Structure 1
Amino acid sequence: MLLKGAVTMDIKVPRGTQDILPSETGKWQAVEELIREQCRMYQYKEIRTPVFEHTELFTRSVGDTTDIVQKEMYTFQDRGNRSLTLRPEGTASAVRAFVEHKMFGYADQPVKLYYMGPMFRYERQQAGRYRQFVQFGIEAIGSADPAIDAEVISLAMSVYQNAGLKKLKLVINSLGDTDSRVSHKTALVSHFEPHIAEFCSDCQNRLQKNPLRILDCKVDRNHPLMETAPSLADFLNEESAAYFDKVKEYLSILNIPFEIDPNLVRGLDYYNHTAFEIMSAAEGFGAITTLAGGGRYNGLVEELGGPNAPGIGFAMSIERLLLAIEAENNEWSEQSTLDVYVIGLGEAAKKKAVELTYQLRQKKITAEMDYLDRKMKTQMKSADRLRAKYVIVIGDDELEKESVMLKDLATGTQNLIPLSSLIDQIKTSSTQLEAEE
């Protein structure tokens, strides 16, 4: 009750976030279970890291010239005057945990991890892109074998394919090793420097620190110099070129089609060698077609204080996966999760309904009942809406006979069942129904 003169507040969800209501969570749970099943098939184990980390983790790993670090991070001082940041991506946290807990000493290598949870970036909200978003990603740390690059890519593709997506495009590139990158960097500086004043301030700041990031600029992407910029492919040394050839060979063995895009650089500083993106080619999906992206990050473990342990991974947005499913008109039909709806007619029957509902739940049978004292016809409609498999009706006659009326909503048949055999009857009928389906 509001006090006289009290001011009401119109509090809404923060900009760039969303409430996922019960009518939608079934789709999320189905997608999440699909992802977990694929990770089980590939033997990737879940890791759960804090939602916030020390800010230095991201400035050192992601790179202080990236848009994420310069513009998008949610950073704050805690009461101990420490700088903390809500995680904008998952790789840095996973690698930090790998080093901190000495996972490089595990008997089984490489260490294969996956994570799924909220990430935070302060960016303009648009279709499928939020300031708080859910990201699934995997990391394979401890192997420099190009075969595991192909495995990582195949896992990402399998998630989308098992979600029913057919209009997919895989784009790959090689960013080369350190020596290749240094040679390419020198060529990029020479290419852009005479006309750098024509570019945005971000590009100007990146010229000497990380000119490769200029190629990823959204503001100046149509500048003529972008088209004529030196290609990294021309600067790959023999070792890097051979590695990329192996990755392509393994993808071909797996029958995974791909396109090579020499301008694909990804947005984070820790990438080297293999880089890739998976895009939706579905009509009407939107201007931002990228569904997932990733690549190899040899050297990141050492940067964060660990030994030489090369790694590769990817991340995908669950929101964009659901958008892609919708764009291809794939329906995720939520299966009925309610076994029994219990109806008690009269005060004594209601007491029995309360008791029986509890007993059913204790026996792993999902059950629901009415708590608004509605009429039987209204309760039956509620059972239909909840897609219950059975309805149990208890009245005075049933109480006297220590039985219930069990109605199968699929067939419309109903039978008087003794309370003593009710649970066995429901379990037997449900097993038969599942076998028929």
Structure 2
Amino acid sequence: MSSIQAIRGTRDILPEEVGYWQRVEAVAREIFGRAAYREIRTPIFEQTDLFERGVGEATDIVSKEMYTFVDRGDRSLTLRPENTAGAVRAYIEHHLYAQGGVQRLWYLGPMFRYERPQAGRQRQFHQVGVEVLGSADPRADAEVIAIATDLLKTLGLKDLRLEFNSIGDRGDRQQYREALVNYLTPYKQDLDADSQDRLMRNPLRILDSKDAKTQTILQDAPSILDHLNPESQQRFERVQQLLTELGIPYNVNPKLVRGLDYYTHTVFEIQSDDLGSQATVCAGGRYDGLVTELGGPDTPAVGWASGLERLILLLQQLSSPSAAPLDFYLVSKGDRAEAQALKLAQLLRQQGFSVELDLSGSAFGKQFKRADRSGAIACLILGDAEAESQTVQLKWLASGQQEALMQAELLTQADQLHQQLTAARKEG
């Protein structure tokens, strides 16, 4: 019988890798908390209509990539392909706008898209993101970009660049759409197949094409920046000014439009050359019309999301995962000693120590070898003699120094032990 394996496009995150994930999550919570962002957790699946209306039926996500199914209640449901629409749905449903002021939200969790799996891109993937709802101020745009920059720099990522653009308001975008279609239509047969399909459905996505011939055609295409109204242009210049004042370098990229229908004005991506063709590690922008589109009050908003798989790839290139430090490795042999070892391990854990209890039952020699490989600061040893006398042997693994202690004494000297462990860890 063949073994059951993970579904293509999904992957197990094994213990050796989890340290990277925990680090990203911990840093994200710290950065967001400092800026008064509050966590929101939304369902993994939603009504399909939420994404059709919010993300846009003409987008590749909705037309090609969603995991959609009909449940027993004959309702069309979809595993979330992104989380902005879900966060906005929650904002409307729970009347968060009635609380007054700006709502700063952040989220972290799995998303689902039916794409060709590749490095840093899976069909089940994870995103961390922020949403600021209720502010039209250009400072909100600059703030979310600054927070993304803080997150990536705190994680230790380097060689990053901010690609930045404005797609104006919906009127600007519609005028540009018409100008772009008029320019590209005579070249339709020379465009790649995906771009031909997008020409009438979602022509702005053609600007994202990786096809060399299509990019050659686009070299003389009209620019969105030539179709901004005076107010949109002023906003664009103000955000640039704020980024400059914050010391955040950027590159204005007129071909950056983002693929989701809900974007207006500011759009941006933070990219890394270390990821090959999949260079984007964070992307977002302003979406002033989405709340209204989904049935809520007129609410300006801006946000971004970052794919954790891509962040982890970059972190793995920089350093080894930071495993939780282990204080004690506890070895034991003999029925009475093994029972005492289990109790002692649990009592030490309750005192705040990290303890790994060897459960192999193998000879002391093999257990000692595992203790040496464990990364623990010290080894605790319980045999028949120690069980009889209610003692334990404490061996400092770096120096080899060993001493006998009463088990009760070990527990009553917790503060002193913590200090000794801290000092030994620094020396190591």
Do these two structures clear the TM 0.5 threshold for a shared fold by scoring above it? yes
The letter of the residue matching 1:347 is D
1:199 is aligned to 2:191: yes
Matches within 5 A, 1:179-218: 179-200=171-192, 202-218=194-210
The letter of the residue matching 1:360 is L
The answer to whether the Cα contact below 8 Å between 2:20 and 2:315 also exists between their aligned partners in 1 is no
Most deviating of 187-196 and 263-272: 187-196
Unmatched segments (≥5 aa) in structure 1: 1-7
The letter of the residue matching 1:364 is G
**1:420–1:244 distance in 2 versus 1, CA, 3 Å:** same
The letter of the residue matching 2:288 is N
**1:175–1:424 distance in 2 versus 1, CA, 3 Å:** farther
What is the CA–CA distance in structure 1 between the aligned matches of 2:321 and 2:205, rounded to whole Å? 42
The answer to whether the Cα contact below 8 Å between 1:298 and 1:310 also exists between their aligned partners in 2 is yes
Partner in structure 1 of residue 241 of structure 2: 249
1:286 is aligned to 2:276: yes
What is the CA–CA distance in structure 1 between the aligned matches of 2:214 and 2:198, rounded to whole Å? 18
Q: What's the TM-score, normalizing by structure 1?
A: 0.92
1:305 is aligned to 2:295: yes
User: Which secondary structure does the structure 2 equivalent of 1:222 belong to?
Assistant: helix
**Structure 2 residue corresponding to 1:47, chosen from 21, 37, 40:** 40
Residue 101 of structure 1: how far off its partner (Å): 0.6
Partner in structure 2 of residue 341 of structure 1: 329
Partner in structure 2 of residue 94 of structure 1: 87
> Percent identity of the aligned residues?
47
Residue 223 of structure 1: how far off its partner (Å): 4.8
The letter of the residue matching 1:280 is S
The letter of the residue matching 1:101 is H
The letter of the residue matching 2:91 is F
Residues 294-325 of structure 1 deviation map (CA, whole Å, 9 limit, x = unaligned): 00000100111111111111111111111122
Residue 202 of structure 1: how far off its partner (Å): 4.7
1:163 is aligned to 2:151: no
Most deviating of 8-17 and 332-341: 332-341
Q: C-alpha root-mean-square deviation of aligned residues, in Å? A: 1.9
Most deviating of 385-394 and 91-100: 385-394
The letter of the residue matching 1:385 is R
Matches within 5 A, 1:234-383: 234-282=226-274, 285-327=275-317, 330-383=318-371
User: Which secondary structure does the structure 1 equivalent of 2:413 belong to?
Assistant: helix
**1:15–1:335 distance in 2 versus 1, CA, 3 Å:** closer
The letter of the residue matching 1:313 is G
Most deviating of 226-235 and 184-193: 184-193
Q: What's the TM-score, normalizing by structure 2?
A: 0.94
The letter of the residue matching 1:297 is Y
**1:220–1:303 distance in 2 versus 1, CA, 3 Å:** farther
Partner in structure 2 of residue 116 of structure 1: 108
Partner in structure 2 of residue 106 of structure 1: 99
Most deviating of 123-132 and 181-190: 181-190
The answer to whether the Cα contact below 8 Å between 2:393 and 2:404 also exists between their aligned partners in 1 is yes
What is the CA–CA distance in structure 1 between the aligned matches of 2:144 and 2:225, rounded to whole Å? 22
Q: Give the number of equivalent residue pairs.
A: 425
Matches within 5 A, 1:55-74: 55-74=48-67
Residue 168 of structure 1: how far off its partner (Å): 0.6
The answer to whether the Cα contact below 8 Å between 1:336 and 1:386 also exists between their aligned partners in 2 is no
What is the CA–CA distance in structure 1 between the aligned matches of 2:118 and 2:136, rounded to whole Å? 37
The letter of the residue matching 1:217 is S
Superposed structure 1 runs of 4+ greater than 3 Å apart: 197-210, 217-221, 431-437
What is the CA–CA distance in structure 1 between the aligned matches of 2:232 and 2:15, rounded to whole Å? 49
What is the CA–CA distance in structure 1 between the aligned matches of 2:412 and 2:172, rounded to whole Å? 69
Residue 372 of structure 1: how far off its partner (Å): 2.1
Residue 209 of structure 1: how far off its partner (Å): 4.5
User: Which secondary structure does the structure 1 equivalent of 2:163 belong to?
Assistant: strand
1:397 is aligned to 2:385: yes
What is the CA–CA distance in structure 1 between the aligned matches of 2:420 and 2:130, rounded to whole Å? 39
User: Which secondary structure does the structure 1 equivalent of 2:214 belong to?
Assistant: coil
The letter of the residue matching 1:20 is I
Residues 105-131 of structure 1 deviation map (CA, whole Å, 9 limit, x = unaligned): 124x31111111111111111111111
**1:308–1:342 distance in 2 versus 1, CA, 3 Å:** same
1:422 is aligned to 2:415: no
The letter of the residue matching 1:395 is G
The answer to whether the Cα contact below 8 Å between 1:339 and 1:388 also exists between their aligned partners in 2 is yes
What is the CA–CA distance in structure 1 between the aligned matches of 2:132 and 2:288, rounded to whole Å? 11
**1:434–1:147 distance in 2 versus 1, CA, 3 Å:** farther
What is the CA–CA distance in structure 2 between the aligned matches of 1:67 and 1:220, rounded to whole Å? 20
**Structure 2 residue corresponding to 1:413, chosen from 385, 391, 401:** 401
Unmatched segments (≥5 aa) in structure 2: none
